[in-house]
């Protein structure tokens, strides 16, 4: 994938096993997509934007929940259970590359198009490369945000 090309410094697919390569690419795409959402979510919260209303019946509002790692200890227990259940549901039932699809990580499942089928093959490859590289950047970005938060140094300008 341009501009980097094939990059396998650890030799994970040096044996040429296409099935293993496809599995690793699938995982990389999924982690990249989750990381893109994580970076946006982190920045939105840092900007002070919160859901309206309460997170539980006792009156804890979404605005009362701090950003970052501090949120993990402030979310009420049932809320944490709901989050874990939602992630489990998505992982086991929704985020599966199961039916159809032109390539590894194609979650359209022969249902949603959004104009993808109107692109020529060169454009499709370029857009897939863009998504892959942006996912890689987002994985590094959310890692940097988390590390700097733990160090007590904000990357967000004030």
Q: How far is CA 133 from CA 5, 14, 31, in A?
A: 11, 21, 12
Whole-structure pTM value? 0.83
Give the model confidence (pLDDT) of 109-144 as tens digits: 667 778 888 999 999 989 888 999 999 999 999 999
Give the model confidence (pLDDT) of 12-29 as tens digits: 888 888 888 888 888 899
Please name every residue paired with 61 in a beta bridge, in sequence order, or none if there are none.
54
Residue 156 CA to residue 158 CA, distance in Å, equals: 6
Give the model confidence (pLDDT) of 75-105 as tens digits: 988 888 988 999 999 888 777 656 667 788 7
Q: What is the mean pLDDT of the chain?
A: 86
pLDDT value at position 20? 87
Give the sign of the dihedral formed by CA 122, CA 5, CA 132, CA 17.
positive
Q: Is the predicted pLDDT of residue 8 greater than 80, yes or no?
A: no
Q: Is the predicted pLDDT of residue 6 greater than 70, yes or no?
A: yes
Three-class SS state of 134: helix
Q: Which residue is it, tokens 């590894």?
A: 104
Phi, psi of 61 (to 5 degrees): -85, 160
pLDDT value at position 10? 86
Give me the torsion for CA of 50, 43, 144, 129, rounded to 10°. 120
Residues in contact with 51: Cβ distance below 8 Å, sequence separation at least 6, in sequence order: 62
pLDDT value at position 93? 79
Q: Is the predicted pLDDT of residue 34 greater than 90, yes or no?
A: yes
């Amino acid at each position: 994938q341009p501009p980097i090309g094939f990059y396998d410094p650890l030799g994970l697919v040096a044996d040429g096993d296409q099935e293993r390569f496809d599995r690793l690419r699938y995982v990389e795409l999924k982690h990249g997509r989750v990381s893109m959402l994580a970076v946006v979510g982190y920045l939105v919260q840092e900007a002070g934007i919160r859901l309206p209303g309460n997170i539980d019946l006792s009156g804890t509002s979404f605005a009362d929940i701090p950003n970052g790692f501090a949120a993990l200890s402030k979310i009420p227990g049932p809320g944490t259970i709901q989050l874990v259940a939602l992630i489990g549901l998505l992982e086991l039932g929704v985020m599966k590359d199961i039916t159809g699809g032109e390539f590894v990580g194609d979650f359209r499942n022969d249902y949603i198009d959004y104009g993808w089928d109107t692109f020529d093959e060169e454009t499709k490859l370029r857009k897939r490369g863009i998504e892959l590289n942006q996912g890689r950047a987002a994985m590094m970005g959310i890692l940097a945000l988390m590390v700097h938060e733990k160090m007590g140094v904000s990357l967000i300008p004030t």
